[in-house]
Amino acid sequence: MWVSPNNFPTEKREPPHHPGLGLVRVTEVGALAASRWMGLDDHHAADHAAQDAITAALNHLPMQGRIVCGEEGRTGEHSPLDSACDVGTGQGPELDVEINAIDGATLVAEGKSGAMSVAALAPRGTLWRPGPAVYLNKLVVDRTVAESIGPDALDAPPGWTLATVARAKGKEIRDLVVFILNRPRHEELIAEVRRAGARVLMRNGGDIGGSMMAADPNVAIDLLMGIGGAAEGLMAACAVKALGGAIMARVAPQSEAELQACNEQDVDLKKILTRDDLVSGKEVFFSATGITDGWLLGGVNFHGQTVDTHSLVLRYETGTRRIIKTEHRLK
């Protein structure tokens, strides 16, 4: 008679439903649609193609989904994935939905690495509502540093933060790599990081991917610093939580209009939001599919009659991380 070894006990209950495995189909179609625009210098067309494909795929998922934070505040454009839009079949669980059709649309348009299609799900009411806030100041680290750094690090001088991260990782500051978006608003931050002795990885887009790399101890990015979109920050928080990392963030208005709107709606501009403020609860599902080759995921790869995609699916509750390579037959 066969006896199961007890060194790896089997699950005694029925495996719970995993919406993330349906969500990966959503990011796959987004990546496939966007990939046709890679290197064609038209990030609007790439974004629109990915949004349309993702919207159609989302509406096949058995859920009562609602978009929490669209990108209309930052881009000035409306889409079927705007804040408060309903998605799904209208049957099934009530879920918060966060979508970024292309993390790094400029990267796609310019044929550069690191662009992804990303999506997240969580029970209704568990994702932070940014309201009129369009931008967040963020700090992201991985799980090896998470217990050594607190919310006060967001206001600390970069040199102090870098020293804390280096000490937690057993490195010297000069061995650290910091991901920072290449924006004029970050000129002084970049200068301070370099003066402290750390190295800087700058990219023109891919804020969510930068957070994922910083939160993954297997990637040679040690932390993310700087200001990026609120929608991207909320999405990043889902991935960071599922990876066991830490994120600190605060609303950081970048225009008088945004500041006025935040004040009118009593948005707390001083509060530092932690991972669990941004994403409460344990049921968090995240999916990302590469569009162009990057540090985390391979891009869409066309063959004669097939096309390959490379995806990452995360689930916080079970601590699982799935790498999915899919072959799609072209019709």
Tokens describing residue 106 = 């400029």
pLDDT reading at 61 higher than 80: yes
Cα–Cα distance between 285 and 235 in angstroms, integer?
11
pLDDT of 72 reads: 82
User: Does some domain include residue 294?
Assistant: yes
| Pairwise CA distance, residues 98 & 67, whole Å | 6
The residue among 5 and 304 whose pLDDT is bigger is 304
Cβ distance 279 to 215 under 8 Å? no
Q: What is the pLDDT of residues 226-276, one digit of tens each?
A: 999 999 999 999 999 999 999 999 999 999 999 999 999 999 999 999 999
Average confidence (pLDDT) over 22-27: 94
Asked if residues 260 and 236 have their Cβ atoms less than 8 Å apart, the reply is no
pLDDT at 35 over 90: yes
pLDDT higher for 7 or 119? 119
Contact between 122 and 220 under an 8 Å Cβ cutoff? The reply is no
Q: What is the mean pLDDT of residues 276-290?
A: 95
Has residue 231 been placed in a domain?
yes
How many structural domains compose the chain?
2
Structural domain harbouring 165: 135-278
Q: What is the pLDDT of residue 258?
A: 96
| The predicted structure's pLDDT at residue 8 | 47
Answer yes or no: do 181 and 271 share one domain.
yes
Q: What CATH number is attached to the domain comprising 114?
A: 3.30.540.10
Q: How far is CA 170 from the centre of its chain?
A: 27
- The better pLDDT of the pair 263, 4 is held by 263
Rg of the chain over Cα atoms, rounded to whole angstroms, equals 20
Residue 117 in tokens: 């299609």
pTM equals: 0.92
Asked if 291 and 260 sit in the same domain, the reply is no
Q: What is the CATH number of the domain that holds 160?
A: 3.40.190.90
Same-domain status, 203 and 148: yes
Torsion of CA 95, 125, 318, 313, to 10 degrees: 50
pLDDT, one tens digit per residue, over 110-157 is 999 999 999 999 999 999 999 999 999 999 999 999 999 999 999 999
Type of residue found at 56: A
Q: Token pair of 322, please?
A: 């799935």
